[in-house]
Amino acid sequence: MDFLVLFLFYLALVLMGVVTICICSKTHYLRGLVRGGAQVISCIIPECLQRAMRKVLHYLFHTRNHTFIMLHLLLQGMVYAEYTWEVFGYCQELGFSLHYLLLPYLLLVINLVFFTLSCVSNPGTITKANEFSLLQVYEFDEVMFPKNTKCFTCNVRKPARSKHCRVCNRCVHRFDHHCVWVNNCIGAWNARYFLIYLLTLTASAATMAVVSTVFLVQLVVVSDLYLETYVDDLGHLQYLFLTLPRIVFTLGFVVMLSFLLGGYLCFTLYLAATNQTTNEWYRGDRAWCHHCPHVARPPSAEPQVYRNIHSHGLWSNLGEIFLPAAAHCAEKMN
């Protein structure tokens, strides 16, 4: 079973790498590591190739393009094609419930609907027309979001919790992050679409992982296929179980995807429950008195640490995500 051992070892390394990046993302260690790695690579790779790589990376991550949307749809199509041609047919022969097998397709339809909405919907672009009304929505904390701050690129006053997206070249109300997978910003007006998209994507990956696992367990363990061997054309003894490599690989991929998406979903739900954005979470543990260029303070002033003043309880916070218009009206009435 060398193939399975190596494959599981690969999955473990990927998951450990992701966890390490998450732990180091709010420290200077990751930046130092990236900077050091870039210096080493710059000594090895020719200058012309470095320029080409920088152009490609700038196009992929700093300009609006449909590359990751096409990659997303391609990967999703390949996984569902493999599930349909391999797992679905075998599971029907083994007498699995049809409702159980069709659940990933139902989740796929819902996921594609909210994926499309996340791609095309307005995240909350701030314009001259809605500038004044959006300035009234959130209170300025005078630490991360000081009053009377202006975006000179968009020529608008910046409401609290807003940010200018350099990729989309616009200011976004309650800016969360720019997602390359949907080629759009995630803000006040489309955060609910993105959350449901992420939820259904995680659920579909987890469902296919469960179905594939149950199928392999029933086929391999119950039928003792795990112990069966055969001799290949070269005279080597092989396990019969490994004659299903595509199903094993698909299972490993969706299991890894389920863990990664599940972790990110939990993080997103935590932000929604506490009424934070990714932008605020990333910047929130810093002392901003000496770093904010818009606020003049005496040199002797004590550093002011950002505190979340927008959380008003779980249901109110979730209501602000799923009913942003109602939340804005309530805020104005208060």
Q: Which residues are catalytic?
A: 179
Query: Residue 36 class from Cβ within 10 Å (0-12 exposed, 13-18 middle, 19+ buried)?
Result: exposed
CA 191, CA 324: separation in Å to the nearest integer? 9
Rounded to a whole number, what is the distance in angstroms from the first to the last CA of the chain? 65
Q: Are strands 237-239 and 156-157 parallel, antiparallel or unpaired?
A: unpaired
DSSP 257-322: HHHHHHHHHHHHHHHHHHT--HHHHHHTTSB-TTT-TT----TTPPPPBP-------HHHHHHHHH
| 288 phi, psi to nearest 5 deg | -105, 0
Which residues, at least 6 apart from 54, have a Cβ–Cβ distance to it below 8 Å?
A: none
Cβ-contact 168, 158 below 8 angstroms: no
Q: What is the DSSP letter of 125?
A: B
